[in-house]
Amino acid sequence: MSGFVLIRGGRVIDPANGMDATGDVLLEDGIIRAVGRPDVPSGAKVLEADGLVVAPGLVDMHVHLREPGFEYKETIAGGTLAAAAGGVTTVACMPNTRPVNDDPSITGYILQKALLEGIVNVAPIGAVTKGLEGRELTEMGLLMRAGCVAFSDDGRPVADSGLMRRALDYSRAFGALIIQHAEEPSLSAGGCMHEGVVSSRLGLPGLPAAAESVMVDRDIRLVELTGGRYHVAHISVAGAVEAVARARARGLPVSCEVAPHHFSLTDEAVVGYDTDAKMSPPLRSVEDRNALLEGLARGVITVIATDHAPHDSDSKRVEFCHASNGVVGLETMLPVSLELVRDGVMTWMDCLRAMTVAPARLLGLDRGRGTLSPGSVADLVLFDPEAVWVVDAARLHGTSKNTCFHGRRVRGRVKKTLVAGRIVFDDDL
């Protein structure tokens, strides 16, 4: 869209600049020109935002787009549509596709597809090891040059200690972030839900909390050794939050993200063998959930990311232990996270920071994503913070509908999503 657009009269919340005030946002040719009470050039198109929150478009640093290779679960087109509907303007997509994103040519393919068919920004995450096999490092430098923004073997941990040391060490050459799916395989083997009272009652093999905290503890020792930048994906247990808190207090380059399902649900959601409540890591105990909330409140957990993991219904309509791990999350991220604000866990500013500038900075996203600073790309979300709605799996925009929030009454609804000044989602249409 060329020319001027004025987003008028909304509550503008921009955590990057510590701003929370009623005002206007002026865009020109897809770039943010001014925020506050700018002079409005004649002929500017006006978007009324009265009663709405105007914020930087959300950045979700943990998304599975499934393309290439698993297009029957999700595509770049479908996944980015779900993102737009959720107010998410940038998704970092995990490399566990087929083929794995472990080669610059695959990164190029994803970016090309995103350019042609995607409707929000796609930032690929490269694999730490070739084929996610945990044996040989990928060409991190060339992958970053091709467009990767971080590295992860997500879905699997980098289990070998020596290899993790090399990855954390080598990544420093490029300032790359290593994202770990923290799980000690010998402790989690065979488990298909959190080990605790509920797994005992349901007779399902459990996966102890220690499987995660043991790995985070180990990795932090390796960060001490190497100085590499380390990020815990989808943190889910109290022990891991504690470990990250200690590491951060000592100034180590350690961070972590939490998924909305982990801070809003517990293993009780599995009762009835609901496979839409099956993911990895699993929904945890009440105590773990409380530790996640406390971690968010204290600023130990700085990022909210969905681990959006679409699965076709055949992968879920099976016995619990055979069902695929994962839930979709892009379209429920905002309202479920806003529950944190209403419950007094986080301020508006901190909650939105965890979904905008915090992940954008961790990933080193260019051109000022996740902020409304003048000169930034005009990626924005306009949402009605009071609108109440009920999540209905059938009405989700993505290809797969495996949500664990079906039937949940939520508050906060995305009205418009803009990417580079262009409206990519409009709830009123």
Chosen from Zn ion, another protein, none, partner binding at 202 (C-beta under 5 to 8 Å by type): another protein
Cα dihedral angle (356, 361, 366, 369), rounded to 10 degrees?
10
CB 282 → Zn ion: shortest distance, Å? 11
Residue number, 181 or 262, with CB nearest to Zn ion? 181
Total of residues contacting another protein (CB under 8 A): 21
CB 308 → Zn ion: shortest distance, Å? 11
Binding site for Zn ion (CB under 5 A): 154, 181, 233
Give the other-Cβ count within 10 Å of 407's Cβ: 9
Give the tokens for residue 23: 């005002």
Q: What angle do CA 307, 311, 316 make, to 5 degrees?
A: 115
Q: Does 204 bind another protein (CB under 8 A)?
A: yes
Distance CA 365, CA 179 (A): 16
Residue number, 115 or 318, with CB nearest to another protein? 318
Of positions 72, 174, 273, 389, contacts another protein by CB under 8 A: 273
Residues 300-329 that bind another protein (CB under 8 A): 317-323
- Report the run of H or E that residue 215 belongs to, with start and end: helix 210-226
Binding range to another protein, per CB under 8 A, among 90-98, 197-205, 367-375, 415-423? 197-205
Residue with structure tokens 């219904």? 313
Residue with structure tokens 């990855």? 167
Residue number, 26 or 61, with CB nearest to Zn ion? 61
393 neighbors 91 (Cβ within 8 angstroms): no
Of positions 104, 206, 335, 421, contacts another protein by CB under 8 A: 206
Chosen from Zn ion, another protein, none, partner binding at 181 (C-beta under 5 to 8 Å by type): Zn ion
Q: Does 190 bind another protein (CB under 8 A)?
A: no
Distance CA 67, CA 79 (A): 9
DSSP string of 122-156?
EEEEE-SBGGG-SSSB--HHHHHHHT--EEE-TTS
Chosen from Zn ion, another protein, none, partner binding at 154 (C-beta under 5 to 8 Å by type): Zn ion
Give the tokens for residue 11: 């509550």
Of positions 43, 162, 251, 272, contacts another protein by CB under 8 A: 272
Binding mask 223-262 for another protein (x = CB under 8 A): ----------------------------------------
Give the other-Cβ count within 10 Å of 259's Cβ: 28
45 neighbors 4 (Cβ within 8 angstroms): yes
What residue type is 422 in one-letter code? Answer: R
Q: Does 195 bind another protein (CB under 8 A)?
A: yes
Residue number, 319 or 428, with CB nearest to another protein? 319
CB 320 → another protein: shortest distance, Å? 5
> Is omega for the bond preceding 99 within 30 degrees of 0, making it cis?
yes
Residue number, 56 or 206, with CB nearest to another protein? 206
CB 327 → another protein: shortest distance, Å? 18
Chosen from Zn ion, another protein, none, partner binding at 201 (C-beta under 5 to 8 Å by type): another protein
Q: Does 203 bind another protein (CB under 8 A)?
A: yes
Distance CA 99, CA 285 (A): 36
Name the residues annotated as catalytic.
307
Distance CA 274, CA 405 (A): 12
CB 64 → Zn ion: shortest distance, Å? 9
Phi-psi region of 3 (alpha: psi -120 to 50; beta: other; left: phi over 0): left
99 neighbors 106 (Cβ within 8 angstroms): yes
Q: Is 285 helix (H, G, I), strand (E, B) or coil?
A: coil
Chosen from Zn ion, another protein, none, partner binding at 206 (C-beta under 5 to 8 Å by type): another protein
Chosen from Zn ion, another protein, none, partner binding at 200 (C-beta under 5 to 8 Å by type): another protein
Chosen from Zn ion, another protein, none, partner binding at 381 (C-beta under 5 to 8 Å by type): none
Of positions 159, 187, 202, 297, contacts another protein by CB under 8 A: 202
Positions in the binding site for another protein (CB under 8 A): 195-206, 272-273, 317-323
